[in-house]
Amino acid sequence: MRKIQMVDLGSQYQKIQKEIDNAVIDVIHSTQFINGPEVKNFQNALEEYLGVRNVIPCANGTDALQVAMMGLGLKPGDEVITTSFTFVATVEVIALLGLTPVLVDVFPDTFNIDPDALKRAITIKTKAIAPVHLFGQCSDMEAIMQIANDHNLFVIEDTAQAIGSDFIFKDGSRKKAGTIGQVGATSFFPSKNLGCYGDGGAIFTNDDKLAETLRIVVNHGMQVRYYHDSIGVNSRLDSVQAAILKVKLRYLDDYATARRKAADFYDNAFANNPHLITPARSNFSTHVFHQYTLVTKGINRNKLQEFLMSKEIPAMIYYPVPMHMQKAYIDPRYKEGDFPVTEMLSNSVISLPMHTELDEEQLNYITKNVLEFVNQ
């Protein structure tokens, strides 16, 4: 049996090695490492795939979120609502810009933001909502956009974990994750569903005027060379990464299919087990399974992780500490117990290996060992 990894980038690379190698070597021969034609080519390909008017490539997903908030003109003191159960980046950039993060709880079955809790968190200072499409499926964007429209708020979609997933509206129409709010932000970190071989990110928007502003922000606040009309940042996707991403974008839907197949295998193996709750699939979103995350019940989650490690099965806790309990974000407004669902999840979730290259032998071995521990 091949070694089991949380993410198997090596086996994935081997299948497309020639294409990737050629793309990289072409960039090296061109010596156009920054802002070369490959960046524009990838940008165009991603715009077409997502059905969005503008993609602005940048250096990483955290920058994508920061640039989005800068481009929207959010000012210190403005409140941005996001979730207490997420990767730190979303909250980090809000705090870095001097904005006020306002946290709300999530649903226990999808791990995504609860629109009713969101509505209750709105104050006179609220300017934006930053839903995170966690683990590979969309938050309830129809409900969120309705709330945003009613209260005149921007929506910044953190789609770092859900690129390629479809939001399905009540009328049956679909839009890609990250293209529904004013702006979407994603990451091309190697382990993400569309990952490059280093750092990368992008911002999406259908608003041409906002796109122009975002392009200025990522380029030192500069439109005309060496004239700086606003404070910006330096955030670029390099040409080598863009060339790799252009190859991998062609496989993104196949990758999602492979991930869903592994998720189906897990779901079947764990169905009706009293100690394991399998991840819910929303009827308003397709699931691209960035992670396969179980909620455990009545077992010692950390001991399960240790047991799996002893069988050479990696498993991770995403995320062990809720945002309001992180040292850096301690805030007198919040205390333990304020976000009971998030806190329950942090204490009970476990994510199993999930990637495009899991085979049946590996899946059998993983599920057999999980069941051996929980049923003992």
Ligand X SMILES: *Cc1c(COP(=O)(O)O)cnc(C)c1O
# of chain residues touching ligand X (CB under 6 A): 15
Residue 362 DSSP SS3: helix
The alpha carbon of residue 131 and the mean position of all alpha carbons in its chain are separated, in whole angstroms, by 10
Stretch that binds ligand X, among 57-65, 138-146, 168-176, 243-251 (CB under 6 A): 57-65
**Per CB under 6 A, which of residues 175..214 are in contact with ligand X?**
187, 189, 199, 201
What one-character DSSP code corresponds to residue 75? -
The binder of ligand X chosen from 12, 43, 54, 60 (CB under 6 A): 60
Taking the least distance from each CB to ligand X, the nearer of 190 and 221 is: 190
Residue 182 or 362 having the CB closest to ligand X: 182
* Beta carbons of 217 and 231 less than 8 angstroms apart: no
Assess 89 for contact with ligand X (CB under 6 A).
Answer: yes
For ligand X, which is the closer residue by CB, 169 or 189?
Answer: 189
Task: Return the residue of 20, 39, 43, 61 that touches ligand X, per CB under 6 A.
Answer: 61
Find the part of the chain contacting ligand X (CB under 6 A) among 47-55, 82-90, 204-212, 338-346: 82-90
Stretch that binds ligand X, among 84-92, 102-110, 147-155, 291-299 (CB under 6 A): 84-92
Strands (E) located in the chain: 54-58, 79-83, 100-104, 126-129, 154-158, 166-168, 174-176, 183-187, 201-205, 276-277, 292-296, 349-352
Instruction: Tell me the DSSP string of 291-354.
Output: -EEEEE-SS-HHHHHHHHHHTT---B-S-SS-GGGSGGG--TT--TTSSHHHHHHHHHEEEE--
Instruction: Give whichever of 83 and 362 is closer to ligand X, judged by the CB atom.
Output: 83
132 sits near ligand X (criterion: CB under 6 A): yes
Question: Least distance (Å) from ligand X to the CB of residue 7?
Answer: 12
Alpha carbon distance 326, 88 (integer Å): 9
Burial readout 123-155 (b: 16 or more C-beta within 10 A, e: otherwise): eeebbbbbbbbbbbbbbbbbbbbebbeeeebbb
Residue numbers 136-175 binding ligand X by CB under 6 A: 158, 160-161
Q: In this structure, what token pair is assigned to residue 300?
A: 């010692």
Considering the rule CB under 6 A, would residue 90 count as an interface residue with ligand X? Answer: yes
Q: Smallest gap, in angstroms, from Cβ of residue 168 to ligand X? A: 21
Residue 175 carries which DSSP code? Answer: E
Q: Which is nearer to ligand X, 263 or 304 (CB)?
A: 263
Which residue lies nearest ligand X, judged by its C-beta? 61
**List of residues contacting ligand X (CB under 6 A):** 60-62, 86-87, 89-90, 132, 158, 160-161, 187, 189, 199, 201
